[in-house]
Homo-oligomer: A and B are copies of this chain.
């Protein structure tokens, strides 16, 4: 059983590219998208004329035609979008794989570009305020029932999940701290990470301001300006490129058995607050890939907040439900642990590219070129955001 998926290892990421990550890029998202795309195309050993497809993220301000015009693509014959928000990137890669497999395109650029710090700051809840301008009771987001109470920003919602996890399972602030500190150590080794030169100690973490209890400053990701892109093509073509490809062993999207409307606040309306769509996606992903958690050499886990990582450790089967805290504190996530994670620093310490940088770092691990390389890594789990829905990838060495 492979859940209907029959394309194991037949399609691949052949190139990756990124801009610098900063708090004020000084360029438009389109300029950032073009820069990252050109880098990915060159990394794949291709010319601009070879690109005939574009897949973008729903929150991106850059439309397919904008990028095609900016790059001067003479032969665009596939474009599409995936979402929702940070849940998009792995699903975007999956959509590109399907399009290439169907013969709708040959080499597809998958990108995410944003001025997430100098432009619209999603962490401030602006996106929710925008969404709430939709008709009341209209499209099911129900933001209007949260806004009057000041519940508006992602950090507030994830703080409630963290509090619930603490109440139900005895999870401690130190468990979240362990996640933040490991991510920072990986960033300290990565010159491209925004926090490369900024070590983080236990005392720094404890002394930082509380933003939304129990989440402190360093439990939050870094709002970032920048762009990331990859090229998706057939494994056969990718093997002709100048760099080792990362094979797509499996991909999965899912919203779990009870899909939620809206962006993220409706996750609070689930029957069981700590049941995330990642549990359903993990099951489907492993089934499609014919692999399990024991086969994962390294993981790039979406980390808008530390608690997001902790929940996924349970959902992707690295520990039992409720055991995420002790698992995180055990040292398992460090470079010499059983599950090295977010080896470029992740959203928490490299930069928040809405999950797209996790795909790039997954490719680097498979290629053996990470600044925190896991020796002999052949299988990498990459996940995208929760809680409304999510997506995930299993990448493999050829």
- Judge whether A183 is part of the interface by a CB distance below 8 angstroms: no
Instruction: Please pick, from B79, B103, B388, the residue contacting A65 in the complex, using a CB distance under 8 A.
Output: B388
- Judge whether A140 is part of the interface by a CB distance below 8 angstroms: yes
Instruction: Please tell me which stretch of A37-45, A211-219, A254-262, A294-302 contacts chain B, meaning at least 4 of its Cβ atoms lie within 8 angstroms of it.
Output: A254-262
A74 proximity list for chain B (CB < 8 A): 257-259
A99 adjacent to B103 (CB under 8 Å): no
Q: Which range contains the number of A residues in contact with the other chain?
A: 35 or more
* A2, A5, A82, A139 pick with most chain B CB within 10 angstroms: A139
Given contacts A82-B80, A255-B68, contact A102 B7 (CB under 8 A): yes
- Judge whether A101 is part of the interface by a CB distance below 8 angstroms: yes
A97 proximity list for chain B (CB < 8 A): 102
B253 adjacent to A79 (CB under 8 Å): yes
Q: How far apart sit A255 and B2, CA to CA, in the bound complex (Å)?
A: 36
Q: How far apart sit A388 and B284, CA to CA, in the bound complex (Å)?
A: 38
- Judge whether A251 is part of the interface by a CB distance below 8 angstroms: yes
B65 adjacent to A260 (CB under 8 Å): yes
Instruction: Please pick, from B62, B63, B95, B106, the residue contacting A99 in the complex, using a CB distance under 8 A.
Output: B95
CB distance from A256 to the nearest CB of B (A): 8
A244 proximity list for chain B (CB < 8 A): none
A82 proximity list for chain B (CB < 8 A): 79-81
Given contacts A81-B82, A137-B28, contact A262 B103 (CB under 8 A): no
- Judge whether A240 is part of the interface by a CB distance below 8 angstroms: no
Q: How far apart sit A137 and B62, CA to CA, in the bound complex (Å)?
A: 12
A77 adjacent to B389 (CB under 8 Å): no
Q: Which of A379-393 contact B (CB under 8 A)?
A: 388-389
- Judge whether A202 is part of the interface by a CB distance below 8 angstroms: no
Q: Which of A83-111 contact B (CB under 8 A)?
A: 83-84, 91, 94-95, 97-99, 101-106
- Judge whether A61 is part of the interface by a CB distance below 8 angstroms: yes
Instruction: Please pick, from B28, B76, B266, the residue contacting A135 in the complex, using a CB distance under 8 A.
Output: B28
- Judge whether A30 is part of the interface by a CB distance below 8 angstroms: yes
A266 proximity list for chain B (CB < 8 A): 69
- Judge whether A324 is part of the interface by a CB distance below 8 angstroms: no
Query: In chain B, what residue has the closest Cβ to A94?
Result: B104
Q: How far apart sit A95 and B81, CA to CA, in the bound complex (Å)?
A: 10
- Judge whether A123 is part of the interface by a CB distance below 8 angstroms: no
Given contacts A76-B254, A81-B82, contact A138 B103 (CB under 8 A): no
Q: How far apart sit A172 and B83, CA to CA, in the bound complex (Å)?
A: 46
- Judge whether A151 is part of the interface by a CB distance below 8 angstroms: no
CB distance from A266 to the nearest CB of B (A): 8
Instruction: Please pick, from B64, B72, B102, B261, the residue contacting A101 in the complex, using a CB distance under 8 A.
Output: B102
B388 adjacent to A140 (CB under 8 Å): no
- Judge whether A337 is part of the interface by a CB distance below 8 angstroms: no
Q: How far apart sit A6 and B255, CA to CA, in the bound complex (Å)?
A: 31
Extra pairs beyond A6-B102, A66-B262, A95-B99 (8, CB < 8 Å):
A4-B104, A5-B104, A7-B103, A61-B138, A70-B140, A73-B255, A98-B99, A103-B288
6 interchain pairs, CB-CB under 8 A = A61-B134, A62-B139, A63-B139, A81-B83, A95-B98, A98-B102
10 closest residue pairs by CB, A with B: A68-B259, A4-B103, A98-B102, A81-B81, A69-B261, A98-B98, A5-B103, A28-B138, A66-B140, A66-B261
